Amino acid sequence: MSGVVPVDVNYSDNVGVTRAELYVNNTKVATDETSPFAFSWDTSSYSGGSYSLVAKAYDAAGNVGSSSAVSVTLGNDTTPPVITSITPSSTLTVSVPKQTISASATDDNRIAKLNLTIDGKEVATTTGGSISYAWNTRKVSSGAHNVTVRAWDAAGNSSSKSITVYR
């Protein structure tokens, strides 16, 4: 889960509940004094990982009851993937009829998609952390050609790297 997450509280008391509080990892993050008690937890400032949620309910006499801890996992990922390699190296002059272009990328979570474009035209797409394409250079005009690799992670973050190859 990520973004603004609804947290509903189920409660009961013989006198009546006057307020509820939401705790994340033992830190109070919200108070609601209007029934039915519910929270909108903005997770955007939390990094991805596991968190413990506890709700506390108070009655008019000042008594407090606590829920059991509920473990949740946030998927907040704002770190883009890193393109770790792309071959051939930039400024290569291609003299063979088929040139293999390959690239790889890493991410702190996982690579969801890689794509490869040559002069703005998509020529290959794959899932996972590596891509390879056999570029037929026989019908390619002489001069500079832009090769771009773009990587996306599962959270939608992306990065790209470009090189110039000459024919």
What's the CA angle centered on 122, arms 117 and 128, to 5 degrees? 80
Average pLDDT of span 122-128? 95
Q: Which residues contact 5 (CB under 8 A, 6 or more apart)?
A: 40, 41, 43, 72
* Cα distance between residue 42 and residue 34, in whole Å: 19
Specify the pairing of strand 4-8 against strand 38-42.
Answer: antiparallel
Kindly report, residue by residue over 73-104, the tens digit of the pLDDT.
887 777 899 999 999 877 778 888 899 999 99
* Cα distance between residue 152 and residue 157, in whole Å: 6
Domains and CATH numbers, the chain: 4-74 (2.60.40.10), 82-166 (2.60.40.10)
* Cα distance between residue 167 and residue 143, in whole Å: 5
Kindly report, residue by residue over 10-38, the tens digit of the pLDDT.
888 888 899 999 999 999 999 999 988 89
pTM of the model: 0.61
Q: What is the largest CA-CA distance in the chain?
A: 85
pLDDT of residue 47: 78
